[in-house]
Amino acid sequence: MKHLAIVLLPLAALVSCSDRQPLPEEAGYDAVNMPIPSYSEYKLAWQSLEEVMKKHFLIRVSRYEDGLIVATSQINADQGMKQRLYIVGRIVEDKDGFFEPEIYVKEQIDMSDVKPHMPPAYTPAYQWRDIGRNEAAEAALVEEVLVAMRGGRMNPQDGAFFQIEHPGEMQPAPAPAPEGETPRQ
C-alpha cells in the first residue's frame, strides 16, 4: 500500500499540472503582447526642447525624468522698467501616445523698490510680478521644437526664435541652361 501511494502521488501532480494554461513564454508569445512605450521618442522630444531652450534662454531647472525645463530670458531694462520672460517647457504625451512639447511663456516686470540712499545689503532683490502670457512666443517656440524633432533646419540667428525655415518649403527650380553650355553647380 505504501508503494502504491508513492507511485500515485507523482501521477496526480502531473495530471493537475496538465490542466493549467501555458505561460506566455511557453506558448511562444512575445512578452505578454503589451506595447512598450518607446522612450527613444521621449528622448528625441526632450533633446529638441532642451536644444531650443538653451539656444534662446538661460535654463534654471532641467529635470529629464519629469520632462520639465524652466528658463528665463535676459533682463530688458528699456524705459526704466526691468522686464523678462519666464518660460516653462514640458514634454507631455498626447491622446495618441506621441510626445509633444507644451510651453508657457509669462512676461514679468520687476516691482522691487530701489533705495539708492541705502547700502546694497538693504536693497531688496528682484520681485518679479506676472503681467500676462505671451501666446505668440509660446506658439513660435512649440513650432521650433517640433521642427527640431522632425530634423528640420532652424534659423541659426540667436534671439530670432520666431523666424523658422521649414524643411518642406519649395525651392525655385534652377533655370535651364542654354544649349551647348554646361549648367553651373
CATH assignment at residue 140: 3.30.530
Give the span between the Cα atoms of 141 and 156, in whole angstroms: 14
Question: Domain range spanning residue 78?
Answer: 39-149
Q: How many independent structural domains does the chain possess?
A: 1
Residue 121 cell numbers, joined: 545689503
Task: Give residue-wise pLDDT tens across range 14-72.
Answer: 555 544 444 444 444 444 443 444 567 888 888 899 999 999 888 888 888 778 899 99
Confirm whether 30 is domain-assigned: no
Helices (H), 19-151: 24-27, 39-56, 135-149
Confirm whether 31 is domain-assigned: no
- Name the residue type at position 43: K
Q: Sorting pLDDT into bands at 50, 70 and 90, what band is 166?
A: very low
Model-level pTM?
Answer: 0.56
**CB of 106 within 8 A of CB of 132?**
yes
Confirm whether 53 is domain-assigned: yes
Confirm whether 103 is domain-assigned: yes
Percent of all residues in the chain with a pLDDT value above 90, rounded to a whole number? 13
Confirm whether 110 is domain-assigned: yes
**CB of 131 within 8 A of CB of 153?**
no
Confirm whether 62 is domain-assigned: yes
Confirm whether 134 is domain-assigned: yes
